[in-house]
Amino acid sequence: MIDNKKVLFSGMQATGNLTLGNYLGALKNWVTLSDEYECFYSVVDMHSITIRQDPAALRRRARSLLILYIAAGLDPEKNCIYYQSHVSGHAELAWILNCFTYMGELNRMTQFKDKAAKHADNINAGLFTYPVLMAADILLYQADVVPVGIDQMQHLELTRDIAQRFNGIYGDVFTIPEAYIGKVGAKIMSLQDPAKKMSKSDENPNGSIYLMDDADTIRRKCKRAVTDSLGEFRYSDEQPGLHNLIDIYCACTGLTPDAVVKEFSGSGYGQFKEAVGEAVVSVLDPLQKRVAELEKDKAYIDRVIKSNAEKATYYSQKTLRKVQKKVGFPSFS
């Protein structure tokens, strides 16, 4: 609790390019949370290096992601927007929590198994202990709530287990975080395979709309989106491709699925795909213009990076010093 507000923590990795799914499903909704919560939004660049990264590219993507946070509407005066790597407490707490996490717990993490299968030539210890660093991210700020998707629920449960174990030994040290349950963001699927989520790591570039795609590219990807051969305009799970396009259109326009079906009933899929493309362009155009403005203001972004890192460090040190004292580390005198 900070200034009588509950604390919320979330973050995104500085890998790949953010998609329309990242924006509509998460980032857009983050903006509404700062009135209710004290929000810490991290660019989790430490997590990114479990997979080999080009150093210059990682620095560039991390800065671009931080700029996107602000361009999407996150006010760095109201929200703490910072690089994970600029706050040493993340790594320091992660080491301590490693000593309170069991191998069997980490062996059960399905994301480790999935990532190990994809990167068989680089199955490193960081990939294995990734969930402990995630636990440190959350517990470092005494987060009350964490917005998570289904694929991250297992990690949040591990975080809760670690916190409860530590508290059971040393007393009431960590806040036990809960999954954030609020306005559900749109779940956007791949344009080419609507059985899969739209992903920044999709090998098929036509499956994802990236936030910095130009207008012609967006329109082209929407026109190429998979639908079906039924020729019926319905919002049905039996037509996943069309269902996904309707979800995108609704998220961009604020209309309900019923209203969209009524509007386009009798229209061909091609006409609707054009409308979806225009709706996406209308949403992303102002975002892209704001990004361009922020990229030119290097001094402002540098000030945000410095001041928000200092704020994150201040709050992280309050927790870290308490934890260090509890486990028996000598204090500075």
Q: Residue 265: which residues within 8 A CB-CB, separation 6 or more?
A: 233
197 is a catalytic site residue: yes
5 is a catalytic site residue: no
Take residue 299 and report the two structure tokens written for it. Answer: 């001094």
Please, how many CA atoms are within 13 Å of residue 27, restricted to the half-sphere of its CB?
Answer: 26
330 exposed, middle or buried (CB, 10 Å; 0-12, 13-18, 19+)? Answer: exposed
Task: Indicate the DSSP class of residue 131.
Answer: H
d(CA 216, CA 332): 59
Neighbouring-strand partners of residue 146: 179
d(CA 248, CA 273): 11
Please, how many CA atoms are within 13 Å of residue 71, restricted to the half-sphere of its CB?
Answer: 25
Mark residue 320 as left, alpha or beta (left: phi above 0; alpha: psi -120 to 50; beta: remaining).
alpha
Write down the catalytic residue from 200, 311, 322, 326.
200
Say how many C-beta atoms besides its own lie within 10 A of residue 102's C-beta: 12
Say how many C-beta atoms besides its own lie within 10 A of residue 279's C-beta: 19
Contact 131, 158 (CB under 8 A): yes
Take residue 131 and report the two structure tokens written for it. Answer: 């969930």
Write down the catalytic residue from 28, 115, 221, 273.
115
**Residues with catalytic function:** 115, 197, 200
